[in-house]
Amino acid sequence: MRIGMAAVGLWMILGMTATAAESVKPEAVLIVHKDANEAGVEVYALRDAEITVNPAEVLQNINLTELAKYVPGTDVPRGSGPGGWDGANPQTMDLAALRRIKELDFLIPNVEIPLSTAAFLVKWNGQNILIDAGAGKANGGVMLESLALAGVRPEDVDAVLLTHLHFDHVGGLEFEGEAVFPKAKIYLAKAELDAWTTDEGIAKLPEMQRPWAELAKQALAPYQGRIIALEYKTVVAAATVSGEKTDHRVPHQRDFPLYSFTFGGHTPGHTTYDIAINTEMWTNLQFIGDMVHIAEVQMPRPQTSVVFDVRPGPVREQRERTFKWSAEGGDFKDFLVGPHLPFPGIGQVVQEGDGYIFKPLILTKDRARGGAD
């Protein structure tokens, strides 16, 4: 399988380079498992694609001096000290501003770091619920092969919960105009749906992102009549997913509630999903979508944003609140689950100094199916 030219162009627009699909091995990793009398809960991480990204090209609200603390090989070149540009110090200029000065292109380090893309599968009470759908076969994604390793066929998927409509999260919904998941309902925030599928919404998007609206509409087109728009906070319990009426619930009930929370920032209706599972203690999984792209920088320095954020301020605030709440824990054992965190994309946040560090959950080898030997 080769990544088509259109797909390569899309990744490059995002400042990323996709790895050829032949070298990305499908993998399904069981990250959470709970046995119960009534029903068990299983959560799998599904490997989708491998990307490399130059953090100096996509990060903002950070300068070269600060970036070098977290990413090896991004040290400031010699001869770029104070007074280099109209009295400004290129070392301490925000990367976004530095990138706009063509004459200072030579200062942007050429360093690539790996970035995972993944989707997640929740199995509960005989139902299969995907959180995001990956980039798709046409864009080099192997999520469907990973899904098969978890024992699920596309026609067995009951629902797909979307964090947002960027193509690396929804490209896997359709292939050659047909629904990849023929029986699934699609859940996403109303604000997100309106932003990418209506003329009024598209006009408010940053100019660079407006062409991506066609990709979003293309991904959703085969599911007309099966798209459910969510408000700010919604209980998306498994009963709701199967089409039964469900009242709002509190997290400590036994019927496996799944909450959606919409925080516009990365995109107008970017949504996270929370699952509370009663294991040895209350375990909360927060599927954070694109709240974090480059963990080695954004964990210790949450104020650092990416160029794809529609509204950097709100997403920075959400990231700082989420890290603080997760690190404090309380009655919950809290895990963040993210498609761009190091695969399989689950771990805990621990406060360190003024920032945080990400501690991946250590999983035994027998929980992985497929992937590297």
- DSSP character string of 227-245: EEEE-SEEE--HHHHTT--
Residue 5 in this model has a pLDDT that exceeds 50: no
Give the number of residues written for the chain.
Answer: 373
- DSSP class of 58: H
Closest CA to 187 of 165, 211, 162: 162
Asked if 351 contacts 181 with a C-beta cutoff of 8 angstroms, the reply is no
pLDDT in tens, 67-118: 999 998 766 554 455 445 555 677 788 999 888 887 777 778 888 888 889 9
- DSSP character string of 61-86: S--HHHHHHHSTT-PPPTT--TTSBT
pLDDT in tens, 140-198: 899 999 999 999 999 999 999 999 999 999 999 999 999 999 999 999 999 999 999 99
* Across 20-31, average pLDDT: 79
Topology classification of domain 5-54+113-364 = Metallo-beta-lactamase; Chain A (3.60.15)
Tell me the C-alpha distance between 137 and 141, whole Å.
5
Tell me the C-alpha distance between 363 and 290, whole Å.
23
Closest CA to 121 of 251, 333, 273: 273
- DSSP character string of 130-157: EE---S-GGGT--HHHHHHHTT--GGG-
Q: Is 206 helix (H, G, I), strand (E, B) or coil?
A: coil
Q: Is 62 helix (H, G, I), strand (E, B) or coil?
A: coil
Q: Is 44 helix (H, G, I), strand (E, B) or coil?
A: strand
Tell me the C-alpha distance between 331 and 276, whole Å.
11
The full set of domain ranges for the chain reads 5-54+113-364
pTM passes above 0.85: yes
Asked if 323 contacts 277 with a C-beta cutoff of 8 angstroms, the reply is no
Quote the pLDDT of residue 325: 86
Tell me the C-alpha distance between 14 and 209, whole Å.
10
- Going 264 to 206 to 288 to 247, the CA torsion angle's sign is positive
- Please list, residue by residue across 314-326, b when 16 or more beta carbons sit within 10 angstroms of its beta carbon and e when fewer do: ebbebbeebbeeb
Tell me the C-alpha distance between 43 and 223, whole Å.
25
